[in-house]
Structure 1
Amino acid sequence: MTVALTVVSGNGRAWRLTEQIGSGSEGFVYGVEDTRPLVAKLVPDPPDPEAFRRRVARLVRQRREPRTVELLSGTPVRLSWPLVPVRTAGGGPERVDGYVMTDMRHAYQPFSHLLDPHARRAHLPAATWATALCAALALARLLARVHAEGYVVGDLKPDNLWVDETGRIGMADVDSWQFTDGRDTFAGRMRTPGYTAPERIAAPAGAPPDSASDDFALAVLVHQLLVAGLHPFAGHPAGGGCLRDYTSYDDNVVHGRCRLLDRTSVLLPRSAPPADLLPRPLAEGFRAAFAPAGRRPTAAGWARSLAAELAPGRLKVCAVNARHVHTVERPWCPWCDQAGQGFDSYPDDPREDA
């Protein structure tokens, strides 16, 4: 969709916007006509316009602070940080605020391409379970760095993430993060069903997140990466010898309905990847992350566990299908087991439909 919009920074620098390339619960993202890979996010109706402008201005300023400079170092850039506040050109109250940021599409693909088997075969045909492990490790390490520098993501989910063919990870939507600037605290505002920690589900709307709630969302995402996109709280509720009406991921989270916690709590399709494809240390980490009284692993803890599974000798290639990679702990191939149930997450020919 082509638009005819121009945005202007405080010092008068103007950018012409091109097509709309994305939208979310708060705003819209547009391409930017520039020699650099840039996009612009516009937020037409923030709950508190002045607070939104102040938040963006502080994030732009923090880009020059040592803690943020370190986060933004490296190539390709891992965070699509606000570069400059902008407003749509023209006078009157209809002007819309936003900011210009790095266009992650120049180095990454949408994170969902690695989770969905069909999208993975189309866009990341060389990806294997080793790629998923690398992406999980990169995500855990990046979140650990974000936490170490005093930031909380607050709304960690696939829509905010990017991935490349080697498993490197990027993050966007930094404007929703929770952070401090001097004596001011800018609380996290957003939460997404299926990626919200149980303590936040039960909390009133607007309750601030913390690093532990990020760690819950991280565990969900790592599980999805390693179990071919399967959400850990997926499944039709079951119990007491009868089926119950499915409500939502969040309802399953609150009631602890999770295959890894209790195999009898949910019903999944026969084609779902087998639960025992996970190496024991990672399965134990998920149980700790999802159990009501579990000691939830931190992002740094996940990074250590995932790095150990990528150590030499920890991965095995299936003798039948070279794209079936799995942990050496499992004596036979879990992906062949899945294929025997009617669906292959990593087929030998990525052009073949399952």
Structure 2
Amino acid sequence: MAVRVTADDGRQWWLTERIGWGGEGTVYAVADVPALVAKLVPRPPDPAEYRARIERLVRRRREPRTVRLLSGAAAGAAWPRVAVTAVRGGVHGYLMSDLRGRYRPLADLLGTDGRRTGLPSATWRTALRAAAGLATLLAAAHAEGYVVGDLKPDNLWVDRSGAVGIADLDSWQFTDRGREFACRMRTAGYTAPETVAAPGARRTGAGDDFVLAVLVHQLLMAGLHPFAGLPAGGGRYVSLDDNLAHGRCRLTDRRSVALRGPLPPVDLLPGRIAALLRAAFGPEGRLRPGDRPEAAAWAAALHAELADGRLRDCAENGRHVYTAERPWCPWCDLARRGREEYPLAPGGAVPDGAAADRWPPRAGRTADTTWRTA
């Protein structure tokens, strides 16, 4: 059933098919406006606060600091454009850009099946570029006074070249005219240690920095979460957050967890990236937020790894790309052990558009992309 929404100035839109959903809101297509979608949040904890939050974000879109953000690192952000209310039921929400015209869900880049179907020409260069773009976006958001607060794959998008988009900006934390609009969302496996310990604590940029490190690890390690694995010694697995709380991390202490192989080798990571990850996940980074590498440091290091001469293309498989610090291809090693992360097309051919991770692709809607929301 179609939903009619209205803005304060009297403009109206019809919302048609439901194209995404999550723990808090639902995303709909907007009739006759294919470039936009609408997010409605039926039961926010404080409807008046939520409506004020959206109105402030819409207004801030025209302010210099947000204009800078959206014209630069956050060009792929689905910023709220118009605050709307459902005519029946009074449900609040907003219109935003439809990211599906250019992007795929970031989850497609994290898994073998997702890459095969959604990003068939992606390589490790694509993942490295996405990590660098995400770090740059986060550093720019922090510089303009925003905290993402609920950074996770479900809120992130990526195109065939590795450019990053981000949605669910209505959960961002910011201060406007002396009033703070706090982030209350959190996601298991993508929450900083201090917020796991105290869910009601105020969010900070350091919390975003920790989750950024988690996502960098996943992007560069073929989707492997840094705190995945069974506790060593036969202990009972509880959750990723429990492993985080106890410092069970393969990268910082390989004897702390048991994982089923074959796994991407730790030494596929460039040395400076591995050092930043250990700084984030080791005791100092877990226990002292101020000691974590910040997003700007991540952006500098990741972009440096994309410089000329820092990456090698495998002579045997055109989709195998790896750091110049490695003397041979880690992806070939992994494939010989039964886990092919970047397979060639049937017959040994490089997939159509194999070099798409080197330049922006032509935009085009992908019909089977599902929008996930907070």
Same-fold status (TM-score > 0.5):
yes
**Is 1:108 aligned with 2:103?**
yes
Q: Secondary structure at the match of 2:344?
A: coil
Whether the aligned pair in 2 keeps the contact of 1:8 and 1:89 (CA below 8 Å) is yes
Q: Which residue does the alignment assign to 1:251?
A: 242
Whether the aligned pair in 1 keeps the contact of 2:73 and 2:137 (CA below 8 Å) is no
**Is 1:196 aligned with 2:217?**
no
CA offsets per residue over residues 61-84 of structure 1, 9 Å max, x none? Answer: 111110111112269941111111
CA distance change for structure 1 residues 220 and 351 in 2, over 3 Å: closer, same or farther? Answer: farther
Farther off after superposition, 17-26 or 73-82: 73-82
Whether the aligned pair in 2 keeps the contact of 1:271 and 1:339 (CA below 8 Å) is no
| RMSD of Structure 2 on Structure 1 (CA) | 1.5
Q: Equivalents in 2 of 1:33, 1:76: separation in Å?
A: 26
Whether the aligned pair in 1 keeps the contact of 2:58 and 2:82 (CA below 8 Å) is yes
- For structure 2, the 5+ residue unaligned runs are 286-290, 349-374
Higher relative contact order (CA 8 A, sep 6+): 2
Q: Equivalents in 1 of 2:33, 2:50: separation in Å?
A: 28
Q: Secondary structure at the match of 1:137?
A: helix
Counterpart selection for 1:44 from 10, 18, 42: 42
Q: Equivalents in 1 of 2:213, 2:121: separation in Å?
A: 25
Q: Which residue does the alignment assign to 1:304?
A: 300
CA offsets per residue over residues 108-156 of structure 1, 9 Å max, x none? Answer: 1111111111110111111100111111111100111000000000000
Whether the aligned pair in 2 keeps the contact of 1:5 and 1:88 (CA below 8 Å) is yes
4+ runs deviating over 6 angstroms:
none
Q: Secondary structure at the match of 1:16?
A: strand
CA distance change for structure 1 residues 76 and 153 in 2, over 3 Å: closer, same or farther? Answer: closer
Whether the aligned pair in 1 keeps the contact of 2:73 and 2:140 (CA below 8 Å) is no
TM-score by length of 1: 0.94
Q: Which residue does the alignment assign to 1:322?
A: 318
Counterpart selection for 2:330 from 325, 329, 334: 334
**Is 1:282 aligned with 2:277?**
no
Q: Superposed, which structure 2 residues align to 1:95-134 within 5 Å?
A: 95-134=90-129
C-alpha displacement of 1:246: 0.8
Q: Superposed, which structure 2 residues align to 1:14-163 within 5 Å?
A: 14-73=12-71, 77-90=75-88, 94-163=89-158
C-alpha displacement of 1:230: 0.7
C-alpha displacement of 1:38: 0.5
C-alpha displacement of 1:340: 2.2
Q: Equivalents in 1 of 2:306, 2:95: separation in Å?
A: 37
C-alpha displacement of 1:206: 2.4
CA offsets per residue over residues 271-325 of structure 1, 9 Å max, x none? Answer: 2211111011100000001112133111100011001111111111122212111
Q: Which residue does the alignment assign to 2:258?
A: 267
Q: Which residue does the alignment assign to 2:207?
A: 213
- What amino acid sits opposite 2:21 in the alignment? S
The alignment-based identity, stated in percent, is 61
Whether the aligned pair in 1 keeps the contact of 2:73 and 2:133 (CA below 8 Å) is no
- For structure 1, the 5+ residue unaligned runs are none
Q: Equivalents in 2 of 1:255, 1:227: separation in Å?
A: 22
CA distance change for structure 1 residues 75 and 17 in 2, over 3 Å: closer, same or farther? Answer: farther
Whether the aligned pair in 2 keeps the contact of 1:122 and 1:350 (CA below 8 Å) is no
Whether the aligned pair in 1 keeps the contact of 2:74 and 2:137 (CA below 8 Å) is no
CA distance change for structure 1 residues 74 and 293 in 2, over 3 Å: closer, same or farther? Answer: closer
User: How many matched pairs?
Assistant: 343
Q: Equivalents in 1 of 2:141, 2:108: separation in Å?
A: 24
CA distance change for structure 1 residues 174 and 351 in 2, over 3 Å: closer, same or farther? Answer: farther
CA distance change for structure 1 residues 217 and 36 in 2, over 3 Å: closer, same or farther? Answer: same
Q: Equivalents in 1 of 2:46, 2:139: separation in Å?
A: 30
CA offsets per residue over residues 9-55 of structure 1, 9 Å max, x none? Answer: 11111111111111111111111113351111111111111111111
- What amino acid sits opposite 2:334 in the alignment? Q
